[in-house]
Amino acid sequence: MSTRYLQVAGHDVSGDHYIDGQRIPGKTRFELHCPIDQRLLGTISEGDEEHIEAAIQAAQRAFATWSLLSAAERLPYLERFADEIGKRAEALCAVESNDAGVLLSRMRHGVVPRAKLNITWFARHALELQHRPIDTDQAHHIVKHDPAGVTVIITPWNSPLMLSTWKLGPALAAGNTCILKPPEWAPLTCSLLADAAHAAGLPPGVFNVVQGTGARTGARLVSDFRISRISFTGSVPTAKLIAQSAAANLVPCSLELGGKSPFIVLEDADLDSAAATATLMYRNAGQVCLAGTRLLVHKNVVDQFVIKMRALVDQLVVGDPRDEATEVGPIIHPRQVERVKGFVDRAVACGARLLWGGQPHSFGPQYFQPTLVTDVAQDDEIIQNEVFGPVLTLQTFSSDDEVVSKANGTDYGLGGICYGETSHAQAIAERVRTGFIWVNSFGIRDLAAPFGGIKRSGIGREGGDWSFEFFCDVKDVVIPKKPFRASFSHR
């Protein structure tokens, strides 16, 4: 069977798997629709038992040689991989915008440069992990980071390119071989990644892509005893299923599961800056795990804050994400639109009040109005559960203790944002139980820093040494400083 290609925005994209350095078509296929206008983009191969077995065997064979290379020897391969991503920048931008509804401007100026950096940064950082000496009175310890084995990577539909490369970078740099299972609603840039890896000369089997649904393809991959690591970003229910499968084989999992992050506006905050940042939470149609979706505003400034934010929201451009002027694009799938609308409708039915939005947008059936819901209680569903759409909630507070209590009053703990006089905001930030929190800022990231959440927001950290701690088996080579003589004497 010949490889099938989809034509997306003038670019050829394979709809088939990439296994052991070759394109492999599937016997069964599923349809892929564009979230912008619901047109059919094409059909995608679905991974079955045969494809999964072939991918695992290929990754095992490749691991035997890839794992023996030093970090310095793997570096040229990964630098070429990043270069090939750069050469495909326009295709990656156009395809992900059509496939996932992501803003084209965000792809060009943020995602693709970050995708390249994800590969090169970790490849170079791996050079520092080869030997880490620890000296004690008794011995000289050499701490080594050995490759763990075959790694399964499962990424979500809201940012498939960036999140795939963020995991692939350290996994490959550590010497692991990888099987990537793309999101079924937005798999196409992961397919283009396979083209980039192939052109870069990554040995066959080092990087494989098996497409399909989570229930069928993903479930089979994570339950295999030959898998050494699983890295997943997505929903809590799916993570629980993955963890159950992995537990049967004692496979370590890294789980990044989204959030319900607080956006705190203290009485001494710069309200113009805070309102502008809060409006950013609607970007990517609110489909961002680290967005501050729960606005917690001091009661003495809430009226001013709402007026300032409303003026900015009224100026937001909702429309085609391929237009550089667009600021809010579509929701990924009709099922997700129904989910978002259901949250809002149920909140209103229970007494919540809409300050703006609350309905599907006139631009198209997969667009939803930027929405702000208030008069909600702490235990309401819309406060406690992740909506993952352009929907924010507004609560007020009158004291530091009250805002900390509300900020910590969900089962999530991924991120947060706190606006106020710097020392005051920092003091509050240190009391919020979360994986990270921005003070008077948003979106500042560094690959050397840890990323991840607590509670239902996940297990583990990504970034810097934390990524390698997960993707490696850490080994301590102990060399005594004095001649060692074994003795069975207990005296």
Catalytic residues: 256, 289
C-alpha closest to that of 8 among 87, 93, 89: 93
Q: Is 297 left (phi over 0), alpha (psi -120 to 50) or beta?
A: beta
Q: What are phi and psi of 37, to 5 degrees?
A: -135, 10
Q: How many CB atoms lie within 10 A of CB 70?
A: 11
Contacts of 331 (CB under 8 A, 6+ apart): 35, 101, 285, 287, 337, 340, 366, 367, 368, 389, 390
Sequence-separated (6 or more) residues with CB below 8 Å from residue 269? 298, 301, 419, 420, 421, 425
- What is the C-alpha to C-alpha distance for residues 103 and 285, in angstroms, rounded to an integer? 9
- Which residue stretches of 69-185 are H helix? 71-87, 89-100, 104-106, 112-125, 160-173
Backbone angles phi, psi at 246, to 5 degrees: -65, -35
Both tokens of residue 92? 């990656």
Query: How many residues in the chain?
Result: 491
**Token pair in block for residue 418:** 């706190």
Q: From the CB of residue 319, how many other CB atoms can be counted at a distance below 10 Å?
A: 18
The Cα 66–Cα 173 span in angstroms is 10
| C-beta neighbour count of 267 within 10 angstroms | 17
List, as one string, the DSSP characters of 397-431.
Answer: ESSHHHHHHHHT-SSEES--EEESSHHHHHHHHTT
Tokens of 417: 């944002």
CA separation for the pair 118, 170 (Å, rounded)? 8
Give the span between the Cα atoms of 465 and 474, in whole angstroms. Answer: 12
